[in-house]
């Protein structure tokens, strides 16, 4: 197997398990979130070092508003702090930040910081870091359908094809993820990139997100390299052509 094909171009991560990480240590859940936020930098670097071009992180789902208000507000504060502290360094390393999700629900200062960080890093190309915040896969499909209708007022749904919808998703500029990692031991998607993960390899690992380090990433990459991606074809169709016997 060639090195190119065995390395994912785009990794998506559901960073789950911060609360249980803290609970195990008799600490408040918020400490888990602080620790989890610190882990983001590590994984961004580990991906950049391996020439992985796209990394998409699930930071806050459309359903996470159901959590206690203090926890929601800690998560918002951490996001602001992250943008304040880490973006300059990451930008100098060539990271381009995009945020997907309905940001209109965020406090005004957070919205402003997001816009500023996106603008400041727009020219970077080394690693495309996408943070999904107030994001839901169902929201994305619905907003894409509406956006398509707005852009094509004379059309009806009969004119809507898969590629049209994909072009209006919030990830329209990104390739679909090759590998989805979920930490924290659950085997579910929790409304993440529903459309985009149609053919993504799904890797569920028990480690809580604050414990997921470079070695854990390497394990996930090794697992990914062993997968045969058929996209509906047969094994024979996707097997590398045999080399001629000499
Ligand atoms: C993931 O960790 C962080 C967010 C969802 C924002 P959790 O907070 O869900 O941690 P657990 O699943 O309760 O352990
Ligand atoms: C998924 O984790 C969302 C994020 C990691 C941001 P949750 O902790 O919200 O998922 P469920 O509720 O256990 O499915
Ligand atoms: Mg959770």
| Residue pair 15/216 in contact by the 8 Å Cβ criterion | no
Ligand nearest to the CA of 186: 2
Note the pLDDT of residue 219. 98
Is a pLDDT exceeding 90 seen at residue 75?
yes
What does pLDDT average to over the chain? 95
Note the pLDDT of residue 239. 86
Ligand 3 centroid to Cα of residue 95, in Å, is: 27
Phi, psi torsion values for 176, nearest 5 degrees: -65, 150
Note the pLDDT of residue 242. 75
Contacts with 202 (C-beta within 8 Å, 6 or more apart), sequence order: 180, 182
Ligand 2 centroid to Cα of residue 190, in Å, is: 6
Q: Which of 128, 64, 66, 142 is nearest to 94 (CA)?
A: 128
Q: Check residue 132 and give left, alpha or beta (phi > 0: left; psi -120 to 50: alpha).
A: beta
Q: Quote the CATH superfamily of domain 10-231.
A: Decaprenyl diphosphate synthase-like (3.40.1180.10)
- The string of pLDDT tens digits covering residues 93-111 is 999 999 999 999 999 999 9
Ligand 3 centroid to Cα of residue 86, in Å, is: 24
Which residues sit opposite 61 in a β-bridge? Answer: 135
Q: What percentage of the chain carries pLDDT values higher than 70?
A: 97
- The string of pLDDT tens digits covering residues 125-180 is 999 999 999 999 999 999 999 999 999 999 999 999 999 999 999 999 999 999 99
Residues annotated catalytic, as ranges: 16, 64
Report the C-alpha gap between 72 and 69 in whole angstroms.
5
Is a pLDDT exceeding 90 seen at residue 64?
yes
Q: What are the boundaries of each domain within the chain?
A: 10-231
Q: Which residues lie with the beta carbon below 6 Å from any ligand 1 atom? A: 15-20, 60, 64, 75, 184
Note the pLDDT of residue 245. 62
Note the pLDDT of residue 240. 76
Contacts with 234 (C-beta within 8 Å, 6 or more apart), sequence order: none
231: confidence class by pLDDT, cuts 50, 70, 90: very high
In angstroms, the first-to-last Cα distance of the chain is 21
**pTM of the entire structure?**
0.95
Report the C-alpha gap between 113 and 108 in whole angstroms.
9
Ligand nearest to the CA of 32: 1
Note the pLDDT of residue 158. 96
Note the pLDDT of residue 214. 98
Q: Check residue 182 and give left, alpha or beta (phi > 0: left; psi -120 to 50: alpha).
A: beta
Q: How many CB atoms lie within 10 A of CB 45?
A: 16
- Only one residue has tokens 């996470």, namely 64
- The string of pLDDT tens digits covering residues 5-26 is 599 999 999 999 999 999 999 9
Note the pLDDT of residue 1. 42
Contacts with 27 (C-beta within 8 Å, 6 or more apart), sequence order: none
């Amino acid at each position: 197997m060639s090195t190119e094909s065995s390395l994912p171009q785009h990794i998506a991560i559901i960073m789950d398990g911060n609360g249980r990480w803290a609970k195990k240590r008799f600490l408040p859940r918020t400490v888990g979130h602080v620790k989890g936020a610190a882990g983001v930098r590590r994984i961004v670097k580990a991906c950049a070092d391996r020439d992985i071009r796209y990394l998409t992180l699930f930071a806050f789902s459309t359903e996470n508003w159901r959590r206690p208000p203090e926890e929601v507000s800690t998560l918002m504060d951490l996001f602001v702090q992250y943008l304040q502290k880490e973006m300059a360094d990451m930008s100098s390393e060539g990271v381009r930040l995009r945020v997907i999700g309905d940001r209109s629900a965020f406090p005004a200062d957070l919205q402003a910081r997001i816009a500023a960080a996106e603008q400041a890093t727009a020219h970077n190309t080394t690693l495309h870091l996408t943070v999904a915040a107030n994001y839901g896969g169902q929201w994305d499909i619905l907003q894409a359908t509406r956006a398509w209708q707005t852009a094509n007022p004379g059309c009806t749904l009969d004119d809507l094809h898969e590629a049209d919808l994909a072009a209006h998703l919030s990830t329209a500029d990104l390739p679909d993820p090759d590998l989805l990692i979920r930490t924290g031991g659950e085997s579910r998607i929790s409304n993440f990139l529903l459309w985009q993960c149609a053919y993504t390899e799904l890797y569920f690992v028990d480690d809580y997100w604050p414990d997921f380090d470079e070695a854990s990433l390497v394990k996930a990459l090794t697992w990914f390299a062993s997968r045969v991606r058929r996209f509906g074809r047969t094994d024979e169709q996707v097997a590398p052509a045999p080399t001629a016997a000499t």
